[in-house]
Chain A
Amino acid sequence: MKLWIITGSATDDGAPIYLQTGARWTRTLSAAEPVADDQPQHKLALLEAARAQQRIVCDPYPMEVRRGSDGELAPISLREKIRAEGPTILRVGAPTSRPTAVSA
């Protein structure tokens, strides 16, 4: 069954934030309150709770997550993964993944 959490961008710095229990916001994705597909009313209620906090959050929306083997919530899409972890730029080109140079 699909799992969802509510996310949006923090008004003060635009960073991704996630709704946790008690309608509070966290910057740690794994601390968010998940809601399953079979609880559509609860999902809607969470979204409403998020929208009511427009001073703190911009454009909240539900995002799909999964539970990893360690039991932690993790994003599914690459977009949300990058959003949660930051730009990937500094990690690319690591020696192990770097292709060998072209020669003429």
Chain B
Amino acid sequence: MYRYDHYDQTIVDQRVAQFRDQVSRRLSGEISEDEFKPLRLQNGLYMQLHAYMLRVAIPYGLLSSRQLRKLAEVSRKYDRGYGHFSTRQNIQYNWPRLQDVPKILAELATVEMHSIQTSGNCIRNTTSDHLAGVARDELVDPRVYCEIIRQWSTFHPEFAFLPRKFKIAVTGAPTADRAAVRVHDIGVRVVPDPEGGDDYGFQILVGGGLGRTPRIAQVCREFLPREQLLSYLEAILRVYNRHGRRDNKFKARIKILVGALGIAEFKGQVEEEWAQIRDGAMTLTQAEFDRVAAYFQDPDYAELEPSDLFVDSLKLGKDRTLGRWVASNVIGHKIPGYSIVMVSLKPKGKPPGDATAEQMELVADLADRYGFGRVVVTHEQNLVLPDVESRHLPEVHAQLSASSLAEPNVGKVTDIIACPGLDYCNLANARSIPIATEIGERIDDLDYLHDLGDISLNISGCINACGHHHVGNIGILGIDKQGEEFYQLMLGGSSSDDASLGRILGPAFPRAEVVEAVATVLRTYIDQRESADERFLDYVRRAGFEPFKERLYGDA
């Protein structure tokens, strides 16, 4: 993984010193909250309902075991002994004291971490496929490009005050989008050369996003030669920076600009801008690519026998607990004999994405003992041990299980993505986490859970959609009706290759009824699907909303 050089370390250390001074001036009353707010936000420090919240960047979700141990230590020393992994592959601490934040940042700097650009109207953490580097269907390791984008975008003077925040995602697997690139401001897809050449390039998507105006991204360029990635991104950012609306926060994202201009006009402006800067200083040379790619070389994998049959035998074995876990939480690795282990942070009754210090330490230990000391955070709020020798799966399962980290539900309906909602968030209309935990409690029959198959369920506590409810196969949006929590159900969303936005099913449900409504949706699907092979999403697309409406609302 990428290691800081002298410049990176100096920049981060200086930033900590600068923020320490700002905090001390705030605590002494020398500067007011109004003056301090933009400074703290530039360091990822928010104010929530009960406390400050510190968001720490995890570039493209990749952590070393050493970094994960440090995150655990910080949570124990300065917070309440847990952290929350977010849908942007970052971690958030919900209870830091202001005077401790510079100390936290100083500790994080010792393991090459920071919270720069985790807030504000700048280019945020570039996210990626959580299986990057180990996926069987990957054409190119996207982390190399994520890192190149990170270095280009960090403290980019031209893009420090964009009209609004800006999110980029990169996927290196041409046929399986696990990075939700179509719902990002810019989505970058590695694609083979359409002319049939040996090289690859990028398809560039633009104008996707969720929030109050959800949009699926449109193609801005079908094929971009790979050496032009930064020049093209720069051209897009320039057009956005010039024309994006700054008068209305709710119309400031690039998706609104793309919608207003139309993709043809937007693309025309980008190409015009690009014509002026392409082949210039931002051209990615092979030497620069190699420099960054060197950090993402494969670890020293052993030469092992293929293990797919062994893994299948575990799935069908007598130990049903292990079998279920292998079936849902273990993925085939690109190297024979290895497996990818998904560590579920969605155990029954616990807030999705939360991990205690002890759990983080255990995962770090397992990464060292059974892998190469690497851990990945997924945008679905789980963790990944990317390099486990398949023969160790039973041991790894036993250890995860003992720490409530082996819920066999990855990709299942209880693998819920939920924002913090009204339990923490200042902007919320309704709670998200209790709905998630109650759904988890409700669907507690594992055979039933697995029979339901892969279903994504996303919950947001307000229209800002941090829980990505528009792209859940089932989406739940919390709304406030005269002081009462209500929840709108949406069906049919997907953030994958077949990306689509869910549509509202009907009138919202009161708090006391929403969990039962979800259960009814699931029962309707089970009763009426053609076969167990028909996925929930496919059923919704085929049958439409009527069968659900009938059961939920009586006469539709």
Task: Give the contacts of A70-100 with B (CB-CB under 8 A).
Answer: 76-79, 82-83, 86-89, 92-93, 98-99
**Is there an interface contact between A87 and B50, defined as CB atoms closer than 8 Å?**
yes
Contacts of A89 on B, CB cut-off 8 Å? 351, 423, 433-434, 437
**Is there an interface contact between A88 and B423, defined as CB atoms closer than 8 Å?**
yes
Contacts of A55 on B, CB cut-off 8 Å? 27-29
Number of A-B contacts (CB under 8 A): 97
**Is there an interface contact between B51 and A14, defined as CB atoms closer than 8 Å?**
yes
Interface membership of B292, Cβ < 8 A: no
Interface membership of A9, Cβ < 8 A: yes
**Is there an interface contact between B51 and A93, defined as CB atoms closer than 8 Å?**
no
Of the stretches B4-12, B57-65, B315-323, B519-527, the one at the interface is B519-527
As a 0/1 sequence over residues 409 to 452 of chain B, the CB contacts with chain A under 8 angstroms (1 = contact) are 00000000000001110001001011001100111110110010
| Smallest CB gap from A83: residue in B | B49
Contacts of A11 on B, CB cut-off 8 Å? 26-27, 33, 98
Interface membership of B391, Cβ < 8 A: no
| A87-B423, A104-B447, A104-B448 given; A59·B33 CB < 8 A | yes
**Is there an interface contact between B448 and A87, defined as CB atoms closer than 8 Å?**
no
**Is there an interface contact between B47 and A14, defined as CB atoms closer than 8 Å?**
yes
Interface membership of A102, Cβ < 8 A: yes
Contacts of B523 on A, CB cut-off 8 Å? 102
Q: How many angstroms from the CA of A81 to the CA of B32 in the assembled complex? A: 27
What's the minimum C-beta distance from A99 to chain B, rounded to whole angstroms?
5
As a 0/1 sequence over residues 41 to 84 of chain A, the CB contacts with chain B under 8 angstroms (1 = contact) are 00000000000001100110000000000000000111100110
Q: How many angstroms from the CA of A86 to the CA of B32 in the assembled complex? A: 26
**Is there an interface contact between B49 and A79, defined as CB atoms closer than 8 Å?**
yes
Interface membership of B516, Cβ < 8 A: yes
Interface membership of A103, Cβ < 8 A: yes
**Is there an interface contact between A92 and B434, defined as CB atoms closer than 8 Å?**
yes
| A12-B99, A13-B98, A78-B422 given; A98·B443 CB < 8 A | no
Task: Give the contacts of B19-66 with A (CB-CB under 8 A).
Answer: 26-29, 32-33, 47-52
Contacts of B227 on A, CB cut-off 8 Å? none
What's the minimum C-beta distance from A13 to chain B, rounded to whole angstroms?
4
Interface membership of A16, Cβ < 8 A: yes
Contacts of B534 on A, CB cut-off 8 Å? none
Q: How many angstroms from the CA of A87 to the CA of B442 in the assembled complex? A: 21
Q: How many angstroms from the CA of A92 to the CA of B349 in the assembled complex? A: 8
As a 0/1 sequence over residues 6 to 29 of chain A, the CB contacts with chain B under 8 angstroms (1 = contact) are 000101111110000000000000
Q: How many angstroms from the CA of A14 to the CA of B526 in the assembled complex? A: 47
Interface membership of A101, Cβ < 8 A: yes
Contacts of B442 on A, CB cut-off 8 Å? 99, 101-102
As a 0/1 sequence over residues 288 to 315 of chain B, the CB contacts with chain A under 8 angstroms (1 = contact) are 0000000000000000000000000000
Q: How many angstroms from the CA of A11 to the CA of B197 in the assembled complex? A: 60
**Is there an interface contact between A99 and B441, defined as CB atoms closer than 8 Å?**
yes
**Is there an interface contact between B97 and A83, defined as CB atoms closer than 8 Å?**
no
**Is there an interface contact between A14 and B98, defined as CB atoms closer than 8 Å?**
yes
Contacts of A79 on B, CB cut-off 8 Å? 49, 422, 428
Contacts of B33 on A, CB cut-off 8 Å? 11, 54, 58-59
The residue that A12 contacts in the complex, of B27, B351, B526, with Cβ under 8 A, is: B27
Contacts of A16 on B, CB cut-off 8 Å? 49-50
**Is there an interface contact between A87 and B438, defined as CB atoms closer than 8 Å?**
no
What's the minimum C-beta distance from A10 to chain B, rounded to whole angstroms?
9
Can you list 12 residue pairs at the A/B interface with Cβ under 8 Å? A12-B99, A16-B49, A54-B33, A55-B27, A58-B33, A76-B483, A78-B422, A82-B49, A87-B424, A89-B437, A101-B441, A102-B442
Chain A positions near chain B (C-beta within 8 angstroms): 9, 11-16, 54-55, 58-59, 76-79, 82-83, 86-89, 92-93, 98-99, 101-104
Chain B positions near chain A (C-beta within 8 angstroms): 26-29, 32-33, 47-52, 95, 97-99, 349, 351, 422-424, 428, 431, 433-434, 437-438, 441-445, 447-448, 451, 483, 485, 515-516, 519, 522-523, 526
